[in-house]
Structure 1
Amino acid sequence: MGLSLNSLKLVLVFITLFPITKAKELDYQGPVCSEDRTTSNTTYQLNLITLFSSLSSKATTTIFYKDSSNGVYGLFMCRGDAPFDVCGDCVQSATHVLSSECTLSLWGIIWYEQCMVRYSNTCFFSVPSTQPSNLMSNNFNVSTNQTMFVSLLVNSMNKTADEAAFSLKKYATKEQKVTQVQTIFNLAQCTRDLGFQACRTCLGFAVAQIPVCCKGRRGGRVLLPSCNIRFELYPFYSHVSREQVLVPATNYPNIDSKYSQDPGYLSHNCSRTNYQTTIDKKRITTILTYLSSKARNSNNNNEFQMTNVENRIFGLYLCRADIPSSLCAECIANATNRIASECPMSIDAVIWYNHCLLRYANYSFFRTMSTSPRFESMNVTNYEDNRSYYKYQLWSALTKVAGDIWDRSDRYCKETFVLNEVQRLYVQGQCTKDLSTGDCNYCIHDVIETAIPWSRLGSIGGRVLYPSCTLRFELFPFYWNGTDDQPPSTKEKNGRSGAIILIVIIPIVASVLLFSFCCYLLRKRARKCYNKTILKQNFGHESNTIGGLQFDLSIIEAATNNFSEENKIGKGGFGQVYKGVLSDGRHIAVKRLSKSSNQGAAEFKNEVLLIAKLQHKNLVAFIGFCLQEEEKILIYEYVPNKSLDYLLFDGRSEKRLSWTERYNIIDGIARGILYLHEYSRLKIIHRDLKPSNILLDENMNPKISDFGLARIIDQQQGSTTRVVGTLGYLSPEYAMQGILSEKSDIFSFGVMILEIITGKKNVSSNELYCNAEGLLSLVWRQFCNQTSLSVLDPKMKENWCDEFEVIRCIQIGLLCVQENPDDRPTIEAIVSYLSNISIELPSPHEPAFFLHGKMDPTKIYAGESSSSISVNGISKSIFLPR
């Protein structure tokens, strides 16, 4: 590709204005851009640019600032503990993203970890605003009683909110003890333009969202335009300035110097059980020899397991992933020699070196997480001035590395963290590769919570070594770089010839790299313009808000092995579903619209525009989409436990649901619908709620999926001439008259409740409208005869169930399927019924039996395409894990 002189000058000017060191964007949520828009090259756009410039310049000297510029109003707020340099970088990045993503929008907002920026064409100063909102939660649940945890959390967060509202900075943090080893760390903050009452009102609304977004989770955030709250089980905020210099790193003691006779040796552990015969000794000698030989002749230095099945001897070695295979072989050779001499009679032993560990036993320990025996070495300093800040930084770094290790294929992670202008923190962690992701995650977190608790975080260096995982941190770069682990020391200067070579080579290399980079930028810009054109043609003005979710087709092809048959996990009316793995390790489910059919094109557009704006733990997470080369592809999180439809009705399913699991699924679906109807910034009617659209994650938590038929409702009710959905789940007023409201979803949910309880479909593919007694009439008759328990699914995993809960859920289901929509409860009422057994339920009326002989589908749907309505046996996808 040719590059003119003028183009090169333009690229050089661009690089000068935007240094490469600033190019990497920080993680952010949003942006949310208004649908109300201006046109290009207007006065409003120019004033907005002036406003952004003003905000960016002020962020280096204050953490809150508001300004207006001829009809454009804006403000930024940095987190109360953020130093000015961090605040400045954050606001600069935020305004850059807003200016590119919300180009023509009349208002916009974006949230970062350390700041938020907001602008509008109307004055919002001093007025508390709770929409749009962004709710986030940790992927892991707390190990303590969830009801007790939520109660403590809400109580402590309310106290934090009180303190923040009264504070001049409108910022507060608090800690709440949960158990002897667990503490909740809370943060609450308002924009400083709010008064006490306005701030407390906003924070009160945020606290009320905790049961919705974060019930039982180890952490969560509620981000609103005027305030935000956050809680974690680790100290994520700081109490002191980041500019302070920490513990001096000079003259740092080499903790391995005492082992000078055997460099790198740390510790070993021999079992108390000794072998009895010389044959046992020979077996152990054989396996140690084999492990040493394998390390010497293998290029894979990460791990090797060996089993002598006949003699029941098991062995494993693990080398640090950053060292070369030659050093790994040397380490294993030293380890086998030393453990043979230190544990001459032991039938079970483990030894640790700087670069490796080795273990053997007379029982299988593969794929089993072991936390003992263990080796600890901490270097504690008496330097106390900035201990609390250092502890906070160290804890954050360790938990960050721990969170990255378990999902990596090599089970290894090393990272460097900036403490201040002169000091860095180096952290490295590793698991044996035989561990599952869950066991690896548990092992590393056990190191942090058990071996390096908060009280011991004053160490300026140390390591904890388990048989199954290791973790180390230092204030010097101990990663392997051709020398052994030592603190940095002054090196001798290079010779004159080496200097001359560097002087000649560096400019040449730099020029080549700069030229390559310029070409890359131009190609990327051309590609970006093409993608924007395609987005504009398909999504109109909405393309500005979803451009960041677009994936390149080559990435999806690589993730799914070019849509191979081995990766196919399902099929529906829209096309195929594939499992894939992105380059960052995330597992995804890919819905690929069939090229040969127009069916689903409108649903594709609708689903992208809707679900991209939604985020809740009971909604399947939307990762992105691809619109390229006639391909229309949707990308979701991979949910492993298939669909509710498969587990309830498919005879091939080996898993049977217990009553507790069924009750939690009902409750989770209700909370997902509550978010759609009330707490998302758009009031959304799903219109196709059914078991095949409920996916189940590894913990059997339900996730509502398939938003292709969903519709935004601005008023309480709407009407439509096009009825879509699935027979058996359609409410009578919608199917007969086209009247659509939240109560339409309530009806579908009621049918699902009864199906979950009974294990029977309301309308099967071969019954349709000819069934003599449908599910609703069957349950109603048994309920009236006070024999409700007779309809309970006989395939339930356990014989035990809470009879009161079962009968109560049946009654809730019957309340939802009443013919008159006004008689059906709201979703808020249903969630209250499920969470509070003391609430007395109203008596249900007879369900809607309109499905039996009262409607003619061919007449009602005349003039509609076959995609307008789906019948269970025709449109239902065959869901395998996704």
Structure 2
Amino acid sequence: MKFFLTFSLVLILDFGITSIDARPTSLLPVSAIFVPESAPAAAPIPSIPSSMADFSSGTQVNIPEHQRNSSRKLLIGLITSASVMGILILSIICLWICHRKKIGKSGKNNTKRLDSLRGLPLSSFISRSSGPIKTINEKGSVVVMDYSLLESSTNNFGESEILGEGGFGCVYRARLDDNLYVAVKRLDGGSHDAIKEFQTEVDLLTKIQHPNIITLLGYCVHDETKLLVYELMHNGSLETQLHGPSSGSNLTWHCRMKIALDTARGLEYLHENCKPSVIHRDLKSSNILLDSSFNAKLSDFGLAVMDGAQNKNNIKLSGTLGYVAPEYLLDGKLTDKSDVYAFGVVLLELLLGRRPVEKLAESQCQSIVTWAMPQLTDRSKLPNIVDPVIRYTMDLKHLYQVAAVAVLCVQPEPSYRPLITDVLHSLTPLVPVELGGTLRVAQTWPSKTTEP
């Protein structure tokens, strides 16, 4: 605005002497001007050109009317142009200032989001009025939690609170306000892979909501330490239940089929309902978590990939030995069929009670797929290799059907594997209605659970 006023004033001063009013002006004689006696001698006045003599002496000059009108129009035009230009320049300056403020504000918000020292307690964001834990988040947002709260609630990350260990750190049980239990995954170090997996996990789980996918409640960044806070799954992982101290004794045949069905539903959501589709890329029994009712949920999305098929030229080979599809391992070709292969391995674990890879000798290992494949297609041999905990507890027709699904899922050629939706349709009739399937049988659900 100052620029506009100054610019207009200059124009008026420049053109006002001759254009605003061209009538003669009466001038006082030089002798009438008072000069103090003490004033210094005036500098000599240069001679005035004859063309300006009439003005200096006050002689009247006749200027035609049309010239005066032209001068007025010119002045008005110049003032109007200057006004428009001033408004335009002022508008551009205002827009630029607003843009800079918006960028600065965005940067501050991002910094705040990663500043765990200003995090808020989880209890402020959790609704306890309707059963399962739910977070009250805005779209695409997640609660930033206070580091000191998580540190104290895990007994300073004590060994007694460790629930499990992963590639980049441990998972701890944490007790928050009002006996609210959560699981806290701690990622130590600032390696590129650790940071990328942390960011991927946060980005994906803030957008994904499904009964068979773990719920992310919050996160925290404190120096080189990064923390992810999840709902607590009281019965741990499927790996612990199958291969831990209980050796699968808590898992009946119908319970195992329910876990397989829940896992397939979670994968179907990733493959078919997410836009773009999501490939988990690290599906395994340790990443399938079980709540107090043995509902299964997929977890650990640090290696997940979006946007469909990938190849070895633009993605790093990652996964867990025994679950990685052969085409991805050998050629780097990654598709949703890679998840289907890993699901087939998990299904074999549920069926046979064996680990995906077992050591035969000091330097020799054998995969469950290689060992089981010849026997899975032989109906006379199949019942003998089933996990002893569930052997002869199921309808043999159901056993053959599950074995057939597993065989299809672990086919070496990806095109021969079914879509996860087809797998889901094959398993649903084998699971009792009360467990989420369509089979009508007497309830045989395990009563034993592990509470915190």
Query: 2:230 corresponds to which residue?
Result: 636
Task: Summarize the alignment of residues 643-682 of structure 1 with structure 2, pairs less than 5 Å apart.
Answer: 643-651=237-245, 653=247, 655-682=249-276
2-structure distance, mates of 1:607, 1:881: 27
Name the residue aligned to 1:691.
285
**What's the counterpart of residue 398 of structure 2?**
805
CA contact (8 A) 2:184 2:229 kept: yes
> RMSD in angstroms over aligned alpha carbons?
3.1
Matched, 1:531 2:112: yes
Distance 2:335 2:273 in 1: 16
How far off its partner does 1:720 sit? 2.8
Cα deviations across residues 109-158 of structure 1 (Å, max 9, x unaligned)? xxxxxxxxxxxxxxxxxxxxxxxxxxxxxxxxxxxxxxxxxxxxxxxxxx
Residue 142 of structure 2 contacts residue 217 of structure 2 at CA under 8 Å; is this kept in 1? no
Change (3 A) 1:533 1:826: closer
Partner of 2:331: 737
- Does residue 718 in structure 1 map to residue 289 in structure 2? no
- Residue aligning to 1:613: 207
Q: Deviations over 1:582-607 (max 9, x none)?
A: 22543110011124876622211111
Bigger Cα displacement from structure 2, 561-570 vs 819-828: 561-570
State which of 353, 359, 378 in structure 2 corresponds to 1:785.
Answer: 378
- Determine the structure 2 residue equivalent to 1:556: 150
Is residue 2:173 matched to residue 1:579? yes
| Cα displacement (A) at 1:723 | 0.8
Q: Kindly indicate whether structure 1 or structure 2 has the higher relative contact order, using CA contacts under 8 Å at least 6 residues apart.
A: 2
Distance (whole Å) between structure 2 residues aligned to residue 610 and residue 768 of structure 1? 40
- C-alpha contact (below 8 Å) 1:789/1:807 kept by paired residues: no
Q: In the TM superposition, what is the alpha-carbon distance from 1:653 to its structure 2 partner?
A: 4.7
Distance 2:362 2:425 in 1: 34
Distance 1:682 1:706 in 2: 19
Distance of 1:610 and 1:702 partners within structure 2: 19
| Higher helix content, 1 or 2 | 2
The Cα offsets for residues 288-343 of structure 1, whole Å up to 9 and x where unpaired, read as xxxxxxxxxxxxxxxxxxxxxxxxxxxxxxxxxxxxxxxxxxxxxxxxxxxxxxxx
Distance in 1 (alpha carbons) for counterparts of 2:377 and 2:408: 13
Report if aligned partners of 1:638, 1:881 keep a CA contact under 8 Å in 2: no
Q: State the partner residue of 1:152.
A: none
Shift of 1:671: 0.3
Letter in 1 for 2:230: Y
Say if 2:248 and 2:353, in contact at 8 Å, map to a contact too: no
Distance 1:654 1:618 in 2: 21
Contact 2:325–2:338, Cα closer than 8 Å, also in 1: yes
State percent identity of aligned pairs. 35
Q: 1:763 to 1:803 in 2, by over 3 A?
A: same
2:428 aligned residue: 835
Cα distance, 1:639 vs structure 2: 0.5
Residue 330 of structure 2 corresponds to residue 750 of structure 1: no
Q: Which residue of 1 aligns with 2:369?
A: 776
Contact 1:574 1:599 (8 Å CA) reproduced: no
Q: Indicate how the Cα distance of structure 1 residues 566 and 783 shifts in structure 2: closer, same or farther if over 3 A, else same.
A: closer
| Structure 1 residue 807: Cα displacement | 1.1
- 2:197 corresponds, among 583, 590, 603, to 603
Partner Cα distance (2:298, 2:263) in 1: 7
State the aligned residue count: 310
Unaligned runs of 5+ in 1: 1-40, 47-99, 105-525, 536-543, 838-879
Change (3 A) 1:744 1:628: same
C-alpha separation between the residues in 2 aligned to 1:670 and 1:768? 35
AA of the residue aligned to 1:809: V
Tell me if structure 2 keeps the 8 A contact 1:782–1:790.
no
Please report how far the alpha carbon of residue 634 of structure 1 lies from its aligned counterpart in structure 2 after TM superposition: 0.6
Query: Structure 2 vs 1, CA of residues 783 and 531 (structure 1 numbering), >3 Å: closer, same or farther?
Result: same
Letter of the 2:281 partner, please give it.
Answer: R
TM, length-normalised to structure 1: 0.33
Rounded to whole Å, the distance in 2 between the matches of 1:793 and 1:836 is 22
Q: What does residue range 355-374 of structure 1 map to in structure 2 within 5 Å?
A: none
Q: Find the residue that maps to 1:725 and give its secondary structure.
A: coil
TM-score (norm 2): 0.62
Q: Matched residue of 2:164: which SS? A: strand
Q: Partner letter of residue 720 of structure 1?
A: K
Superposed counterparts of 1:205-244, under 5 Å: none
Structure 2: gaps of 5 or more residues: 1-93, 117-137, 431-449
What is the SS of the residue equivalent to 2:405? helix
Q: Secondary structure at the match of 1:739?
A: coil
Partner of 2:74: none
Give the whole-Å Cα distance in 1 for the aligned partners of 2:318 and 2:219.
Answer: 24
**1:647 partner amino acid:** Q
Q: Is the 8 A contact 1:576 1:591 kept in 2?
A: yes
Distance in 2, Cα, partners of 1:611 & 1:635? 11
- Cα 1:609–1:596 shift into 2, 3 Å: closer
Matched AA of 1:733 = E
Decide whether aligned partners of structure 1 residues 765 and 638 sit closer, same or farther in structure 2, where only a CA change above 3 A counts: farther
CA offsets 1:644-703 (integer angstroms, 9 cap, x no match): 111112245584311011111111100010011111344110111111111111011111
Change (3 A) 1:675 1:584: farther
Matched residue of 2:371: which SS? helix
Report the 3-state secondary structure (helix = DSSP H, G, I; strand = E; otherwise coil) of the residue aligned with 2:358: coil
Paired residues of 2:379 and 2:400 also in contact (CA < 8 A): no
Q: Does structure 1 retain, via aligned residues, the 8 Å contact 2:183–2:232?
A: yes
Instruction: From the two aligned structures, give the one with the greater strand fraction.
Output: 1
How many angstroms does 1:608 deviate by?
1.1
2:267 partner amino acid: I
Question: How big is the shift at 1:830?
Answer: 0.9
Report which of the two structures shows the higher radius of gyration computed on alpha carbons.
2
CA contact (8 A) 2:173 2:232 kept: yes
Contact kept, 8 Å, 1:576 with 1:594, in 2: the verdict is no
1:832 maps to a residue whose letter is H
